[in-house]
Structure 1
Amino acid sequence: MGYRRSRRQPARGPVEPDPGHGCADPSRCVRAFCAVPVDIALVAPGNTRVVVRELPGWPLSASALFDRLNGRITREQLLRIASSDPFGAHLHFPVLVRIRLSGQVPPRLAFDPGEALRLTGWSDRPGVDHLARAWCCTLLTIAPGGDDDLVTVAAKLVESCQVLGGDLPELAGQLLAWRAATEDPDIARLPGRDHGRADPVALLALLLLRAATDPTDTRLVDLARTLADSDAPAVPMPRPWRRLIDTILTPLRPTHPDLDRLADALVRADTR
């Protein structure tokens, strides 16, 4: 790629962006996040979508999880993410650096760096870097490109945040609740658009997170009933979803009737 790892420790936490800084050879720069300057529009995470419905009892946040993960991502991880698409790594890396330093996101992910984020976010290989994958999935959830589908990233986001632990599952729940309560601005402006129905994929991921953390959470009853009556269980789920259902919902079925009903609907759809 032409980049060599810096000997300095990567900066952590908020880092002041320096959009005017650029080196003829970033690989030799002493700055941990040096990259070729790029001209790209960025916005606050919460400005990529429009809140169009309420989700009573569930805190919404597009930025809390992103801020926490963003402060932990290193230059080496950005290099690996960019290199997941070896033909475009030199184009992905500078944009990833801008996102990391600014704490902002593109309004809608373009191919650079969207392709690298997808390749890392979709990864299911043994020994996956859960921090890098969670960061990529978070960006794909906040600012999806035209071809991005929450089905392909939400289960990986849940899984990685569970592995990372701490308050990340709670913050991931806030992100998924925000996603369920929002729509793309272009869709939200369509005349006659019905905003009453939340995204069932986001709700299912939210339910799995909460059920894994606290299966006695009283909010799960209404959430499970809403999902069981929606079209969320109508199609087979990819393998990461089946893994989460098996490990989280299946053990709770004997003691939680509403979760049992939802799990039954999901299993039936998956065997059609």
Structure 2
Amino acid sequence: MKLYPIQCGKFKLDGGAMFGVVPKSLWEKTNPADERNLIELGTRSLLIEDGKKLILVDCGLGNKQDDKFFGHYSLWGDDSLDKNLKKFGFTKEDITDVFFTHLHFDHCGGAIEWNDDKTGYRPAFKNAQFWTNENHWQWATEPNAREKASFLKENILPIQESGQLGFLPLPANGNYGFAPDLKMDVIFVDGHTEKQMLPVIQYQEKTIVFAADLIPTVGHIPQVYVMGYDTRPLLTVEEKAKFLKQCVDNDYLLFFEHDANNELASLKMTDKGVRLDETFSFNEVFGY
């Protein structure tokens, strides 16, 4: 098995929204804001090569929305999914599976693209199976008022219409082996959105957790640093407490999806709770 970090693109969001009730004087130490109070974020996917499987965990914003839509998110940099797949010798046609942590537009938008004549949509990964879970699918296709702007029908419904959609079961113990040949489990969390899925991967004698929107950046490691976007913020606080302890107890490395600058981090216990230990590039830890 081999893993590759794939930066799909970078954008900006309001720092206050990303940190909820945490004062700016605290969160700007790790996530400095510009004059519009926007902080820099990424959409980093993880590519898993294992035998005949080539699995992509999340796939970024995509490019099918109009300029007005993207104008709200201040795109920056020159990263793209296609560019960074090519860096490692792959194309979208090589992907066998796309695993969605959840179906907010910045995690699944790249799964669907325009047809050539721009009269409809098609899967961007024509040879892939798309994976979510039934509870989250229902949540996304019948969205509440708060999340409706994040669940875009043009990102989601064409996945089902393609015939490439699959559902993972929800086991009683909260973990699921995504594929029998992979050393990978899934942690389910509900504070950000219903049944978000966090892959846990055994790789080169280390354990990597794809932190998704439970801990989107290094600045979100403290237990109470919770996004304003979370639908159940108090539940997120509880889930983070359990998750952070699990990470420290088992020496997990966090893989950050939305941190524009940091790919991996280790954690440590302090008298103030779990905190950042060290940050690493993927290449520093594993090489390519």
TM-score (norm 2): 0.29
More strand by share: 2
More helix by share: 1
Structure 1 or 2, whichever has the larger Rg, is 1
TM-score (norm 1): 0.30
